[in-house]
Chains A and B, each alone.
Chain A
Amino acid sequence: MYYICSMRSRKMYNRVAILRQEKGMSRKELAEKIGVNFQTVGYLEREEYNPSLDLAFRISENFGLPIEFIFSTEPLKPLIEEIIHLKNKLGEL
């Protein structure tokens, strides 16, 4: 028997735009590095496209950051807040 399951994809939030700007890269340069069309980078930055796991890993490898630091299913806090939060967490340890 064939079961139809309707799995609606969730909105994925990301920090691609801010990280790219911090690195001083153009959309075209990032696109070349991760092997996609530069329009796709635009779609990613506007959070209008959810990348595959492979592409998400390629992006995280390109920025040298863990994947969960770049992508989230919940709205992301500003980078500075995240760093302070991480610092406090490390301080507790």
Chain B
Amino acid sequence: MSRQTRRLWVIINYLSIIFLLSFFYTGKYLNWTVFVFIGEAASLLLFVFSFIKGFIKTHLWRMSHTSTKNLDERQLQVLLNSLKYSYTIFTIITLIIIYGFAVAELGPIDVVIAGCLLYVSHTLPAAIIGWKEKVI
């Protein structure tokens, strides 16, 4: 899979999370209409499909979750670099969400957003590797 295609699947995957959250909160705070329900289901399908295409089939998930003993020096260097970037990006995302909730007086973040953040924290190093590296 080319780097461009990998990047595309990563973007689709993270966009699907935004769609999932948007439809979920529309349903929760407004109304669970048929349109919202179909949108939520479609987003979920897109999320699963893009995860398989972008992270599983490309072996990105395996590379970022395997023991460091199974990686050679270049792969280790790539992984450490991606962890450095993902730490910064994840901190910024989390702080924006927490401060956003505080400013908008929405209370503490709920379990759905916490779950999404957990997913992002796990996939971000793999996404960065997929984004930056020519060959995996």
Min CB gap A45→B, angstroms: 12
For A40, what are the chain B residues with a Cβ–Cβ distance below 8 Å? 72-75
- The interface bits of chain A over 36-68 (1 if a CB of B lies within 8 angstroms of the residue's CB, else 0) are 110110110000110110110000000000000
Are A37's CB and B72's CB within 8 A?
A: yes
Q: How many residues of chain A are within 8 Å of chain B by beta carbon?
A: 13
Please measure, in the bound complex, the distance between the C-alpha atom of A42 and the C-alpha atom of B72, giving whole angstroms: 13
Flag whether B41 is at the interface (Cβ < 8 A): no
A36 & B73 in contact (Cβ 8 Å cutoff): yes
User: Please, how many angstroms separate the alpha-carbon atoms of A54 and B73 in the complex?
Assistant: 10
The answer on a CB contact under 8 Å between A42 and B73 is no
Q: Which of A37, A51, A52, A55 has the most CB of B within 10 A?
A: A37
Beta-carbon contact of A39 and B135 below 8 Å: yes
10 contacts between A and B (CB under 8 A): A35-B72, A37-B74, A39-B136, A40-B72, A42-B135, A43-B74, A43-B135, A49-B74, A51-B73, A55-B73
Known: A36-B73, A37-B75, A55-B73. 6 other contacts (CB 8 A): A35-B72, A37-B74, A40-B72, A40-B73, A40-B74, A43-B135
